[in-house]
């Protein structure tokens, strides 16, 4: 049995305290306990499909004497060893900066066209935001599945499974990106018309989407690489690559819009080129590592078992993000029911949403990664603490950023437009959302924690009911009755609170069930089906 660096304990805590360790036949060892906790996603299987036998004490000693096949770096220790609050912060900060930079670079598209191409171009780019969020959200969700699997296998000490996951995930991510490319190229007019996009904004919006979606395969590959690095605690490299690509994006924005006069097409083309650069950099970095998560293009192939697991974890998460965006389509349609001035103001203010959400999302990804690795390593005390620490961090960040927008909202909006009327319209959104951002932490962090325990279908169903069905119902009832902008925006905090309550109840149940297997006084034989 091969171990990753910093790999699993032979016995999970709780089991060794309850009874002497006496492996017998196919008894429940550490890997097998984790398998039983996740019967739909077994951690360690033989080639015949049976659960790996528990190692003996003698084999454990031999393993400890062998040099690790893993890299000698200490990155893997950041999740299973050391002070947890500090380690989560150190892993999350580069992720948060990466997400913030990505948003700031995307915001530069809006800022450049707003400043140098006029309010019509601003409205055209802004009217595409929901669809960009819809499809990129799906890719991000898919990468979350990769992140959870890599982290769990890495923490459990299963390098072969880590490698299979990485090489299968590359193809899955690329296929998803290509699929979205064709959707964007051929479906943009229909999608935008469904939103009742204003006639004067429609041609520019279609052009922007078609050019922007040329970079979807590259975006999918970057998210794949970022998920792999984040799973093992390496978050500085993705930050560096994204920073370089982002600076390039800004420079290209200015060049294409000011010099080449390409307006909407220019900022979309700049984003596409930057996405290709970031994808190339992160894939190259994966080929240079000496750890079990290294990318070797000669080994790239679909492992059916791993592909199934990636899709089981990633597709529900991706659909959840997409469903969020679909629900937001109804909100955008509500905004479009007002005049073009309100649409432009909403487009400018909505950039704040992405900035705050994505910064907070760094702690959600860290939460899932830490919980997965420590669960795989049998460190149960760190599993529970990871959730509460990540929740505290994300709530605090949401409160700070939201408060900053309440104070400096007009200055923020001035980055995207020089028209005071547009700024006034945008402030109507910020005055509601600035107070509400922090409440979303309870929902999103709990969803991430459930995924860290291998649960994806349940959170997705809850999100559909709480944040999607509820939002649509709100649009056609409360908003339809009052038909004011505040009445429309208030659905965000209300839906977050409702969904968070349901998610917390579900997660509490899942956590208790997952932990039971570690506290059985006696080891039990696993069914042959595993």
Phi first, then psi: give them for residue 294, nearest 5 degrees.
-60, 145
Given a contact cutoff of 8 angstroms between Cβ atoms, the answer to whether 220 and 278 are in contact is no
* Confidence (pTM): 0.68
First-last CA distance in the chain: 18
User: Looking at 117-121, 359-363, 522-526, which range is the least confident one?
Assistant: 522-526
Confidence of residue 520 (pLDDT cuts 50, 70, 90): low
Range of lowest pLDDT (141-145, 432-436, 518-522): 518-522
Q: Does 10 or 453 have the greater pLDDT score?
A: 453
CA angle 418, 492, 475 (to 5 degrees): 95
From residue 174, give the alpha-carbon distance in Å to each of 73, 112, 181, 221, 495. 29, 30, 11, 6, 33
Give the residue ranges of DSSP H helices in 213-303: 216-231, 236-254, 263-288
Question: Strand, coil or helix: what is 55?
Answer: coil
Q: For residues 372 and 151, is the Cβ–Cβ distance under 8 A?
A: yes
**Tokens 């169903």 — which residue?**
461
Q: How confident is the model at residue 288 (pLDDT cuts 50, 70, 90)?
A: very high
The answer to whether 383 and 82 are in contact (CB under 8 A) is: no
396 confidence band (pLDDT: 50, 70, 90)? very high
- Beta-ladder partners of 51: 45
Residues 6+ apart with CB under 8 A from 422: 119, 341, 344, 345, 348, 413
pLDDT 10s digits, 9-21: 333 333 333 333 3
* pLDDT above 90 for 167: yes
pLDDT at 425 over 70: yes
The pLDDT tens digits for 482-512 are 888 888 889 889 999 999 999 999 999 988 8
Q: Where are the domains of the chain?
A: 15-65, 88-519
Asked if residue 461 has pLDDT above 90, the reply is: no
Token readout for 105 is 């670079």
Instruction: Choose the weakest-confidence range: 29-33, 155-159, 307-311.
Output: 29-33
Over residues 343-350, mean pLDDT: 83
- Give the separation between CA 395 and CA 357, rounded to whole angstroms: 11
Runs of H (alpha helix) within 437-476: 440-452, 457-463, 470-474
- pLDDT for res 518: 66
Torsion sign across C-alpha atoms 35, 40, 43, 47: positive
Q: How many CB atoms lie within 10 A of CB 196?
A: 15
Say how far residue 159 (Cα) sits from the centre of its chain: 24
């Amino acid at each position: 049995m091969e171990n990753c660096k910093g790999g699993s304990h032979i016995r999970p805590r709780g089991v060794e305290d309850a009874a002497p360790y006496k492996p017998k036949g196919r008894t429940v060892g550490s890997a097998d306990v984790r398998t039983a906790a996740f019967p739909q996603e077994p951690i360690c299987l033989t080639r015949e499909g049976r659960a790996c036998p528990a190692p003996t004490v003698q084999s454990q000693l031999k393993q400890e004497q062998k040099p690790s096949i893993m890299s000698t770096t200490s990155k893997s220790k950041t999740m299973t060893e050391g002070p947890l609050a500090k380690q989560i912060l150190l892993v999350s900060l580069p992720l948060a900066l990466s997400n913030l930079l990505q948003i700031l670079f995307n915001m530069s598209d809006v800022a450049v066209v707003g400043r140098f191409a006029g309010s019509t171009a601003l409205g055209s780019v802004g009217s595409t935001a929901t669809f960009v969020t819809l499809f990129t959200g799906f890719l991000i969700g898919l990468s979350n599945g990769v992140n959870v699997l890599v982290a769990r296998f890495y923490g459990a000490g299963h390098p072969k499974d880590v490698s299979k996951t990485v090489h299968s995930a590359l193809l899955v991510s690329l296929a998803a990106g290509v699929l979205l490319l064709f959707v964007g190229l051929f479906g943009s007019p229909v999608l935008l018309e469904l939103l009742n996009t204003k006639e004067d904004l429609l041609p520019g919006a279609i052009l922007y989407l078609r050019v922007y979606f040329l970079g979807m395969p590259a975006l999918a590959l970057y998210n794949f690489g970022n998920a792999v690095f984040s799973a093992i605690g390496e978050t500085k490299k993705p930050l560096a690559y994204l920073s370089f690509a982002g600076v390039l994006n800004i420079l290209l924005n200015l060049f294409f819009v000011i010099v080449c006069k390409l307006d909407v097409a220019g900022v979309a083309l700049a984003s596409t080129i930057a996405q290709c650069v970031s994808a190339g950099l992160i894939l190259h970095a994966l080929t240079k590592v000496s750890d079990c998560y290294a990318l070797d293009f000669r080994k790239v192939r679909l492992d059916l078992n791993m592909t199934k697991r990636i899709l089981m974890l990633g597709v529900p998460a991706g659909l959840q993000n997409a469903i969020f965006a679909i629900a937001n389509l109804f909100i955008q349609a509500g905004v479009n029911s007002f005049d073009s001035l309100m649409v432009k103001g909403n487009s400018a203010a909505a950039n704040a949403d992405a900035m705050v959400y994505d910064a907070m999302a760094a702690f959600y990804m860290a939460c899932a990664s830490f919980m997965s690795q420590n669960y795989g390593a049998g460190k149960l005390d760190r599993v529970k603490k990871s959730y509460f620490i990540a929740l505290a961090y994300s709530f605090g960040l949401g409160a700070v950023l939201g408060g900053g927008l309440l104070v400096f909202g007009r200055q923020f909006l001035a980055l995207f437009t020089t028209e005071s009327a547009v700024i006034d319209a945008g402030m109507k959104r910020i005055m509601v959302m600035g107070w509400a951002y922090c409440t979303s932490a309870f929902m999103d962090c709990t969803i991430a924690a459930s995924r860290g325990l291998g649960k994806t279908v349940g959170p997705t169903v809850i999100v559909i009911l709480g944040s999607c069905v509820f939002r649509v119902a709100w649009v056609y009832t409360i908003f339809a009755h009052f038909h004011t902008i505040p009445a429309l925006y208030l659905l965000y905090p209300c839906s977050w609170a409702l969904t968070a309550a349901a998610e917390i109840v579900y997660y509490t149940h899942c956590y208790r069930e997952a932990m039971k297997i570690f506290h059985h006084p006696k080891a039990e034989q696993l069914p042959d089906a595993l």
